[in-house]
Chains A and B, each alone.
Chain A
Amino acid sequence: MSAISSIRPDLHRVGVHEHGQSIHVRSARKSYGTVEALKGVDLEVKAGTFTVLLGPSGSGKTTLLRAIAGIERLDAGSISLGPTVVDDRGIHLPPERRGLAMVFQDYALWPHMSVHQNVGYALRRGRTGSREAAKRVTETLARVGLAAKGSSYPHELSGGQQQRVALARAIVGSPALILFDEPLSNLDADLREHLRLEISTLTRESGATALYITHDQGEAFALADEVAILRAGVIEQRGTPESIYRRPATPFVARFTGLAGSFTGIATSAAGGRATVRIGDDEFRVPASAGVTEGAAVELMIRPTATHLEPTRGHSIVSASTGRNPAIAARIVDVAYRGRGYDHVVDCGHGILTAVFDEVSWTRGQPCLVRIDSEACMAFPEAAPIDGKN
């Protein structure tokens, strides 16, 4: 059963209402032995929004999600869901009384219960009448495209179907908050895309607040109203996917959200959030972070979308221009066919750029020019350690 076909136009008739709950996390701290998983995290999530916590493994995102669920207990700090304080000094509301739902990475379906029973379990707390409960379970299973699978057991379903049961269990009770713990990480690429669409649509239709964690920036940008990027137990940046991509606050955020590469150079001028960066004979006039000062060594981060391949002019391979959108001399190192076109790896002399896209294929070893869109670059002080995708 196709996931797309399960999302029907009559969705709006079933259990759709605005009732999301806000989340307020203040100075959340949590350690496991000597490892600090959360180092004073603050997070505000508005009611009814879809927020994605994005971070590499070990960044603390799972701990934060589990603390909000009530599965983990904070060492310090507080969590409120709507007006209710659920975690604070001396307060810990157990998970079953937080009125939320959750989709787990390993699905966490109960193997001794049928699909219908698994989904219906989440209605037990609401004291829903058995006839009403059966009706809602059937409706919800139909919404996720599993109407015919109610009497099956989890082990009789495929991975994608199992995760859809978990999704149905999460939305059947119309909770005010749904937590997603990397729900797509165990699925193959095609299924991920289908289920991502289902999660996005069904969650938004339900009106619930959604908090979703992932280490995949593509998934995060595709799903989120707002993204919060976590690194080593601290939130580094929050904002819309667009703002984070255009103006990463730190080199880590820039790297984690996708770079073609980076060059090191010297800031020949810096003022008003912009800087001129000299790298070899090339000059770039680019947005700069606050720490960039005139004469300082800087790292120029280049998004894949900032790059464009051009043929060399005549026989001389020299940089074409300086300043706003310079084109720098390069050579094609490798080429990979991506369906819509080709991703190239190019050696620019200053460094390697990857994922340089063109609709036509360039030959390995071929000289070329890479034109760089300065507005899609960002300069940071060079001292930042290279610890991007750890």
Chain B
Amino acid sequence: MSHQLVTFDRDTGRSRLDGTHVGAGAWPVGAEGPSPDEITRSQSRRVRARFTPLAAFWVLIGAIIILPIALFLCVAFSPALLGQGTEWFTLSAFATALNGHLLLGFVNSLVIGVTTAVLSAAIAFGLAWIVQRTDAPGRRIWTGVIFALLLTPSYLVALGWERLLEPNGVLQTLGFDPSGARDVFYGPVGIVVVLTVKGVPFAYLAISNALRGLGHEFEDAVRVHGGGPFASITVVITLLGPAIWAALAIVFAESVSDFGVASTLANDAHFTVATFTLYNAVQAYPVQFPVAAAVSWILLILVVLALVAQGRALRGRSYRVLGGRSRPAVRRRLSRPAKTTVSVALIGFVVAALGVPAFGAVSASLISGLGTLGTHEWSLANYSRVIGSPSLSDPLAYSAELAAITATVTVILAVVCARVLASRGTTAGGRLLDLVLLAAVALPGIVFAAGYIFAYNLPITQALGIHLYGTTALLFLAYLATALPSTSRVLVGSMSQIQESMMHASRVHGQGAVRSWLSIVLPVIARPVISAWLLTYTATLLELPVSQLLAPPGSQPISVGITAALSKYDFGGGTAMEILAILSALAVVGLGYLLFRILTPPGWRHLGGTQ
């Protein structure tokens, strides 16, 4: 192992040195005026010192992202290579994956993915139009609604609906008969509803950003030359082509990769989807790694196909509509009936997306004995039970601790990744990192988790003295690996905005590299870094697929705790845990921004904020 480390070290260090300017990456040197000899010595020290952190970074990226996934995907073709069978090359795992129950899973996933993509893009376009191009009431709350939806895991939305509709659920307890709605919702319709709701924020962010940049002159030109409102909307949709295709591709990929709905609503409705067949293959006895890997391949191919389709649809056309001469769009004044209609539609969406799940979860957590035939009372008993019982409260504490550690390490590494990705004159290392992170973003979380189980269970891993399987450390590494790609992507935008000359100006005017970074770069990226930390914290706290597969014996992450309680028909306890987890996440987010506001100098705060 140490030999490998040295080789990797030297290679990476050299390629890094070739492509880096002295500015930002340089090591600080002491403060006294040196003689040339001293400078030479300090220089060579500096060159050596640069090798280690960067090599360690690449070893980490290799260990947590590249190797587990690559090994796992290999086993689909070559079970013998990794001790999973006798054949060195075979497609039999694919044959299994594309037959019967498993094939049905793919077909279902594909249909669900396409449907949710189209529905989400259509709803998101309507929302974006209403928010940005009309004077509809309540426009300002939309950013909040979209971010709340973005942060809510799909299994929580599904569980909220289930609590309302299930036999002996909230509605039945309240004296309604939801059996008709239950029959409709427990199946593809419900799955599409939940995944569409989860897809809308992604599609909205893509489309609304593009719509914001689209000047009004294109619509004016249509109207001036005789086109009606419909013709002008057609032109807008065409011009927003890239954003709409991006929205379709993202929502399709998210829906196909989703595990939250697959393991809750779909599973309860006995509706097979691909991610759950993958989970079953890994959980089966004996475990079927080659089949799980083949399913992963097919899932990956579906995601890649969506991205390719997006690329092909746009090829050869120009969508350059954003220029210095674009005029800001004019808001259309809606008539009173139109305003009412729009308001009803918006409220309807919020109710379906957040209201019902929230009501389901909150009401279920306040009813004791829910899910049973006995008496039901409204009380806070579930909460006092959760807080009082270690088995119910420990998962939240465990997840909160892990999420805080994961968010901290992820953000530090993501800043490094973003720096490499944003650096001028991309190096080979930068391009490789870009590719790895892009692929990892497209990789479903459940594939990650399966890859981890496989790679860290291999005899060779054990022989190398790496005994991580079944430990919290491995769960942490898997969280890190799933969070790092998207967090890096979030931060790369901010890092790209930093003019190199700001660092150079600091160096030229007398500050060393480290002090320059701390006094110039850190303040500039402080707000996005805090946001990235809070985003990672929240996502990790409520993460399901990796937690489900990698939770160490004796410790339950909160998402596993919730689903475990629910599977034992402790609906009150499970939903109370859910509500407490969400409230704690909101409290951390609020506290994070509050501390940022209180503790940072005014100059830090006005960056990236609004006037």
Contact = CB atoms under 8 A, between A and B. Distances in A.
Nearest to A91: B39
Given A94-B513, A153-B606, A108 B22 contact: no
B17 to A, nearest CB: 11
A95 interface: yes
Nearest to A124: B510
Given A122-B510, A125-B511, A95 B504 contact: yes
Nearest to A99: B510
Interface string A84-115: 01001011111111111110111011111110
Interface stretch (A66-74, A283-291, A376-384): A66-74
A73 B505 CA distance: 16
A85 B36 contact: yes
A20 interface: no
A121 interface: yes
Contacts of B519: 121
B465 interface: no
A111 B607 contact: yes
Interface in B8-38: 21-23, 26, 29, 33-34, 36
Contacts of B520: 110
Interface in B319-343: none
Contact of A88 (B36, B507, B511, B516): B36
A269 interface: no
A24 B606 CA distance: 43
B39 A92 contact: yes
Interface string B521-552: 00110000000000000000000000000000
B603 A113 contact: yes
A110 B502 contact: yes
B5 interface: no
A268 interface: no
Interface string A271-315: 000000000000000000000000000000000000000000000
Contacts, number: 115
Contact of A92 (B22, B505, B607): B22
Contact of A93 (B39, B523, B604): B39
B39 A101 contact: no
A127 to B, nearest CB: 10
A117 interface: yes
Contact of B510 (A71, A93, A125): A125
Interface residues of A, number: 43
A173 interface: yes
B505 to A, nearest CB: 4
B522 to A, nearest CB: 9
A102 B22 contact: no
Contact of B504 (A92, A104, A122): A104
Contacts of A71: 21-23, 504, 507-508
Contacts of A173: 509-510
Contacts of A73: 22
A96 B499 contact: no
A121 B508 contact: no
- Chain B binding site: helix, strand, loop or mixed by DSSP? helix
Interface string A114-132: 1001000110111000000
A153 B21 CA distance: 29
Contacts of A90: 39-40, 43-44
Interface string B585-611: 000000000000000010110110000
B318 interface: no
A61 interface: no
A169 interface: yes
A113 to B, nearest CB: 5
A94 B26 contact: yes
Given A92-B22, A112-B524, A102 B505 contact: yes
B501 interface: yes
B29 A97 contact: yes
B506 interface: yes
A114 B22 contact: no
A124 B40 CA distance: 26
A33 B205 CA distance: 39
Find the residue from B34, B36, B516 having the highest chain A CB count within 10 A.
Answer: B36
Contacts of A85: 36
A260 B36 CA distance: 51
Contacts of B509: 96, 101-102, 121-122, 124-125, 169, 173
Interface string B44-83: 1000000000000000000000000000000000000000
Contact of B501 (A70, A108, A155, A169): A108
Contacts of B504: 66, 69, 71, 95, 102, 104, 108
Given A102-B505, A153-B603, A92 B499 contact: no
Interface string B73-99: 000000000000000000000000000
Contacts of A95: 22-23, 504, 507-508
Contacts of B26: 94
A7 B113 CA distance: 68
B508 A101 contact: yes
Contact of B508 (A93, A102, A124, A126): A102
B169 interface: no
B512 interface: yes
Contacts of B502: 108-110
A256 B510 CA distance: 36
Contact of A100 (B508, B601, B604): B508
Contacts of B29: 94, 97
Contacts of B505: 102, 104, 108-110, 169
B506 A110 contact: yes
A145 B506 CA distance: 23
A111 B39 CA distance: 33
Given A108-B504, A111-B607, A91 B43 contact: yes
B254 to A, nearest CB: 35
A73 B499 CA distance: 19
A99 B33 CA distance: 11
Nearest to B29: A94
B323 to A, nearest CB: 19
Nearest to A179: B508
B40 to A, nearest CB: 4
Contacts of B606: 112, 153, 155
A215 to B, nearest CB: 18
Contacts of A97: 29, 33-34
A71 B26 CA distance: 10
A111 B524 contact: yes
Would you list the 3 A-B pairs with minimal beta carbon distance, nearest first?
Answer: A125-B510, A108-B501, A112-B603
Given A66-B504, A102-B505, 6 more contacts: A96-B512, A97-B34, A99-B510, A110-B520, A121-B509, A121-B511
